[in-house]
Amino acid sequence: MRPRGGSGPGPVWAQRVRQLQRGLRTKEERIVVLETENAALHLKLAEYQGLAGRSTNEVLQLYSAHGQQQKLQRSSVVTHLHEAIKRLKQDMKSLRSFALELSKDFQRQCKAYLYQALTAVQEIQLQNEAMQMFQIKAFDLEQSLQEVTERYEKEKQKRRVLHNSLVELRGNIRVHCRIRPSLPFDNADEHSVSQDRQRNFSEKVAYAVDDETVLVKCSRPGHASINKTFQFERVYSAFESQDTVFADVAPLLTSLLDGYNVCIMAYGQTGSGKTYTMLGPQLEENFAFALEDESELGIIPRATQEVFRLISEKPPGSYWVEVSVVEVYNNEIFDLLAKDSCGKVFGVKRDVVTTREGKSNVPLLTYETVENASEFLHLVIKGLQLRVRHPTLVHAHSSRSHLVVTLTITTVVSGDSFGTSWEDEQISQRLNKEFSCTYPQKTRENRSTSSSRASSPAQLEATEKPKQVRTRLQLVDLAGSECVGMSGVTGAALRETSFINRSLSALADVLGAIAEQRSHVPYRNSKLTHLLQDSVGGDAKLLVMLCISPDQKYLTESLQSLGFGTRARQVQRGQIKKKNLPVQSKAK
């Protein structure tokens, strides 16, 4: 049955057919395109096949050419190898002949060397025998040298002991000399000096030959060099320590507690190391002792420690110690421990007088009692803070005054503890006989004293009562002598230099008068010599520590100091007496 009014499936199918036809045409077009591309590919394939054929032919040609080239190379290599083999055969023949000659020569040399070795072995054996003999002789010589050295040291020690005893008996002044090392300030002012002159200034001219001799090389332009030697009880080189210096000073401190006065004095030009030797290094701000390194401490702090150590070995309460500190500045004496009403320390001018007994004394001088070395050093530091100092071209911290630190020891003794023993009296009698020509008056006085000591029953009775004996240790740091042209001082410092040089000249005059045994000794020409009258005049064991510089720059001043020490060493003051008489208590 057909559908009505044209609403059947006809249009649908027609539309479907049109779609299929369009698809067919599209497929056919696609087939045409693919067939075209296929034809192009066939053309390319044919082209590539042709190229491959041509490449194969070229490869075959190259291979054949390579084969021919290899054949040619192999033939040339073989030819070269044949030629090389011929040359090697010729070289082998030459080497064989050379090796034969070398072997023959080696055998000849071996025989010669063997003969030389045998000869050397024989010589070595002979030398060994000789060496053994030398070793035996050397051992014997070493033993002999050691024995001689030991004997020499013993004899040297005995000589030193005898010399010290002779110095003790004669009353000679002990003189030690210390050569300081070169210091930076020695060349500080030489920037304007020519190099040749600066080299001459810095040249060392003073040397310690041994522990008793100083050698000084004296030279002037246009003159031959002259060597001068100076002999002293002890000489210290620039490398010897403070410990070594004090070890030779310490025995004097034992004499202090045995009843003798002791004075240790440092002498030399400014900057020569006097204050370092006596005090040690000091801090610039307050002049306190640098106690961090005790090995650098000088004679004054060490001597105090030693004195209190010796006192600690004695019965408690039998000793007490007082200290005074004075300076001699511009020929005036100043008490550096005097206090004002507020208790503040300030320098007060004092005077020195001569007592009826002929002893020097400073009235109203301040004495402070101390019980240990720390208290003593505290007071010395206070005094040092008031000491006058002024910089010069030679020394930046030059002391402008003489410092005298006095340690007074009062001993309470009973009986005849400080009296002269029988052995001491016999020694004194032998001394009087030996030196009667030199000291006739003193000999008679000693004999009368000893006879009165032996025959006076009242004195024997008096010695049984307790008494006080006062001994004194004076430690003196002298101001340094100066050459005005070298120090460059002016104004007030120039006036200080004048007083310093005059006081040191007065000290030399006093020693000269004592050495020549003049009837008048000019102690009062200077406050310094007046203050030190007892110590210099023979009432104390006196040690002078000379301090000199080794450089050419200070040659004149060093020779002056060495000359002073030589003159001081020749002074004979007679035997020093013990302090065995009671003393009155001193008012504080």
pLDDT, position 264? 94
Q: Categorize the per-residue pLDDT at 460 as very low, low, confident or very high, splitting at 50, 70 and 90.
A: very low
Establish if 480 belongs to a structural domain.
Answer: yes
pLDDT, position 191? 46
Measured over the CA atoms of residue 243, residue 183, residue 380 and residue 526, the dihedral's sign is positive
* Domain harbouring 310, CATH code: 3.40.850.10
Q: Which strands make up the sheet holding 213-218, listed edge to edge?
A: 206-210, 213-218, 226-231
Q: What is the largest CA-CA distance in the chain?
A: 198
For the stretch 257-274, pLDDT in tens is: 888 889 999 999 888 888
Establish if 529 belongs to a structural domain.
Answer: yes
Angle at 525 between CA 523 and CA 527, to 5 degrees: 80
Establish if 289 belongs to a structural domain.
Answer: yes
369 annotated as a binding-site residue: no
d(CA 207, CA 550): 7
219 annotated as a binding-site residue: no
Reduced to 3 states (helix: H, G, I; strand: E, B; else coil), residue 574 is coil
Q: Categorize the per-residue pLDDT at 138 as very low, low, confident or very high, splitting at 50, 70 and 90.
A: very high
Residue 178: strand pairing partners:
236, 547
Q: Measure Cα distances from 60 to 52, 55, 70, 73, 102 in Å.
A: 12, 9, 15, 20, 61
pLDDT, position 80? 87
Q: Is the pLDDT of residue 16 over 80?
A: yes
273 annotated as a binding-site residue: yes
Residue 394: other Cβ atoms inside 10 A = 25
Establish if 192 belongs to a structural domain.
Answer: no
Please tell me which residue, 304 or 165, carries the higher pLDDT value: 304
- Identify which of 1-10, 242-251, 577-586 has the greatest average pLDDT: 242-251
171 annotated as a binding-site residue: no
pLDDT, position 304? 93
Alpha-carbon dihedral of residues 561, 402, 238, 484, nearest 10 degrees? Answer: -60
d(CA 227, CA 206): 10
Q: Categorize the per-residue pLDDT at 323 as very low, low, confident or very high, splitting at 50, 70 and 90.
A: very high
Establish if 91 belongs to a structural domain.
Answer: no
Reduced to 3 states (helix: H, G, I; strand: E, B; else coil), residue 59 is helix
Q: What's the mean per-residue pLDDT of the chain?
A: 79
pLDDT, position 117? 92
Establish if 262 belongs to a structural domain.
Answer: yes
Establish if 550 belongs to a structural domain.
Answer: yes
269 annotated as a binding-site residue: yes
443 annotated as a binding-site residue: no
For the stretch 559-581, pLDDT in tens is: 999 999 999 888 877 777 776 54
Please tell me which residue, 138 or 219, carries the higher pLDDT value: 138
271 annotated as a binding-site residue: yes
- Contact partners, residue 328, CB within 8 Å, separation at least 6: 334, 401, 402, 404, 503, 527, 528, 531
How many domains does the structure of the chain reveal?
Answer: 1
Taking the alpha carbons at both ends of the chain, their separation in whole angstroms is: 171
354 annotated as a binding-site residue: no
Containing domain of residue 268, as a range?
242-414+466-570
Taking the complete model, does pTM exceed 0.85, yes or no? no
pLDDT, position 162? 73
Q: Is the pLDDT of residue 420 over 60?
A: no
